[in-house]
Structure 1
């Protein structure tokens, strides 16, 4: 009886209850929106419910792993991920013009997904080992550890996943003490580049112009962002229809399962990348604000947990994983609203798909692990 009681206590203490409460709310909201997006309880709704169950189970299992054990797993996890990415480069399977999958015989995996977790773990472990004596060469080494998987994923090509991996690694490096003065020149170059692109949009977006650093489909996405009406029934269709759906929702929305853009099939990929357009049309501006507030509370809780970690590893890992969720939300809503290019980034807890939910589940499990072993807590 005592052993059973101890097991129950261990299960209950594995969770950070405020964070868990927010995740339960997101689960209810995500399944509600998915029910509307598919028009009922078809196989996609059932699959998404199963995906949530798996994500919660994995989250709980990861939450039971103490941060010292996560530190020990960081290096081998990163090395395995890089080896698998190299395997994709030389032996990967190609689908729809992209080589992202690796067939291991017993399973078909997408190694780039695991790097969203492996990269911040590796960099947090590295800075933990150099705590108190971080020098410029340590930042350069961290950049190299980030650049290797980033470039391998870009080459597949999978720009959306590459950006998320880069963001995860960048936030670890920034939280480790990287001076903002070093970032200022990069930001200036970025602003100048965007301004130049907007000013010279017409000649740069001509069919015969090669952008060198981007594939043709990536160039088309940027040009479509600048002028979606140039090809309203082709490349600009996604952006135009999603913005119409958001605008037609007005202040209060059209009501649950009453979205015309959604249920007349005008919104492409309405269960995955463009699910926010479904939500905004049916729940309006106020509904969108409520969703953003809930995301804000989730991010605030993640940063609060990270700030109270007993180790630098926990602070860096928790902070980076929390900010990756922010990048997910910012990029997805930005592309649906027509202010960012379409890069195939899902909306956390809303978009259909098991891989993204599993990744978020692992990240939340790690946050709960950090919470259980925070400073001053036994």
Structure 2
């Protein structure tokens, strides 16, 4: 396994870590964890994948409990990264959520304690002050950020002068490379580690997609699986790692081998060209919201403005960030095969951000979008 350093510390971490999230939204919160998850976690650690990323509300706490069981006798071999939800961002709630995570993990310290999402209703300084106290109390070793904006990351660094955040976690894969123009350079310039989640989003493409075929052909040249090739490409830059979950033992064995791989510069460039970061500005008036059971979604502007599900951050809070000039990640849309009037696209990811743009600038606004199909 190939390793990198965590921030500017001397702590070596693998460039491919184990993620424990199962799905998004409601799927992640209601996921079930059991003995097979524990077995695969222990196997991953044996293979050198000692960085394990979990969260307070994965499986409503079951994920942390499963991790605690899995590492009971090997705690000192494992680097635990966990996250607390935005609704737990007040000073008292951060401290409480840390204690609950420590209890479920059956450990006396968390190696990396991260915000899961920002909460605009609570001053970031209040949240960070609690995280700083946890470090000073010896219950947390390092502080990290997730799903923040660059402005929020700058604010965190200016506040935490004595205990600077060591990492930023954001989505990063062949289909969404926006981190390369924002967060990866920021991390590099400020001595932080970039942690990418959802690294294998490209596998959702159809089997006949020309881009996938070319990746498979290139992988054959190296006697690799396409997954190994992609993971090597994603972690090619110093200070960048990814976390991923797998329920397949063979895939776990393959993923652990990427430290032995060296891609030729021309192949790195070829992959970059095949999956160019193609963000388009698409009018909101051409989009509708795709409804599914994985997460709560607003279907009308009135619902979004009222924030009747109590989501954090709310669409209106994100709209304020947009109007203040902060950069939010693109939404993801798909071409609607059942076109109704002018609604040519369905919003499949980033639904809160869609409504934020509409609240900020109206239905005529063009929204930075990635077309998934």
Do both proteins adopt the same fold according to a TM-score greater than 0.5, normalized to the shorter chain?
A: no
Using CA pairs below 8 Å that are at least 6 residues apart, which structure has the higher relative contact order? 1
Q: Larger Rg: 1 or 2? A: 1
Q: Report the structure, 1 or 2, having the larger helix content.
A: 1
Q: Report the structure, 1 or 2, having the larger strand content.
A: 2
